Amino acid sequence: MFCTSLEPNTKQGQGADLSIMTALTLTNPGAKSLFDLGVRCKPGSETTRGMIAAFDSMLGGTIFDASQASSDDFETSEQNPFGDECHLRLSRDPVGYSKGAPDPKHHGQVMRSGMKAEWIKSQTSEMDSPWRRGIFQKVLSSSLNPQDRVFTSCFPYKIMRKGGEFDECKVRLVVQGQHMRRKGEDGVSDYDDAFSPVPAASRFCAILSLATQQNMFMDHVDISQAFVQGELLP
């Protein structure tokens, strides 16, 4: 069984929730105890017997209160079932993150996500930078002409990972350009030209070749929001 983000492309049910909890809910919708799931024999483990007793207490009308149990009575989720050498979550991982955490598809999923605080932090940073650089300008809708068109924007959300480990929550503000029209022969358009400041693979190979020939060292730098750092060409 795979979570949605790690599901193989060749398997059936791509995009569906294939978690164990969902499978139990679909196959045993009314299950409230291990007995309802088919557990009949008495286990030899004291911990497991205690867990079954706690679940069965719900069937008798008494709701189990976790505060009544000591930390030594039951195994908790804080204990790593794979041993101390295998870490399920790193200390630098944000709250609510797991290796199978999917990317939110819209803002509503962000607000319901366990990583809500981290997403809001990245989203605020994405908006503060353009305002600080004077890129945005507030315009009243009453000042627009009838022929002016207003395009909506959205936030794509992406969990960035390096080597399989969490790196950052990436949020980008984009305009929904699929509704825009390029200038045609009639002269009516929403924009004249488009560009993407990304070097082609052939140019990158040429730079590597020149650096190797001249015995030069190479380095790179990642500039945040590089597309708003320079002046637009006339």
pLDDT tens by residue, the chain, 234 residues: 445 445 455 555 555 566 666 777 777 888 777 777 777 666 567 777 777 676 666 555 454 454 554 444 444 444 444 444 444 556 678 888 888 888 999 889 999 888 999 999 999 999 988 888 888 888 998 999 888 888 889 999 999 988 888 889 999 988 888 888 888 888 778 888 777 667 788 988 999 999 999 999 998 887 777 777 766 666
What is the spatial distance between Cα 3 and Cα 20, in angstroms, rounded to a whole number? 9
Assigned token pair, 105: 């598809």
Phi-psi region of 203 (alpha: psi -120 to 50; beta: other; left: phi over 0): alpha
What is the spatial distance between Cα 224 and Cα 205, in angstroms, rounded to a whole number? 24
Which pLDDT score, from 0 to 100, does residue 8 have? 52
Which pLDDT score, from 0 to 100, does residue 13 have? 52
Determine whether 171 is exposed, middle or buried from the number of CB atoms within 10 Å of its CB (0-12, 13-18, 19+): buried
Q: H-helix or E-strand containing 161? A: strand 157-162
Determine whether 4 is exposed, middle or buried from the number of CB atoms within 10 Å of its CB (0-12, 13-18, 19+): middle
Q: Coil, helix or strand for 139?
A: coil
CB 19 within 8 A of CB 41: no
Q: What is the DSSP letter of 157?
A: E
CB 95 within 8 A of CB 68: no
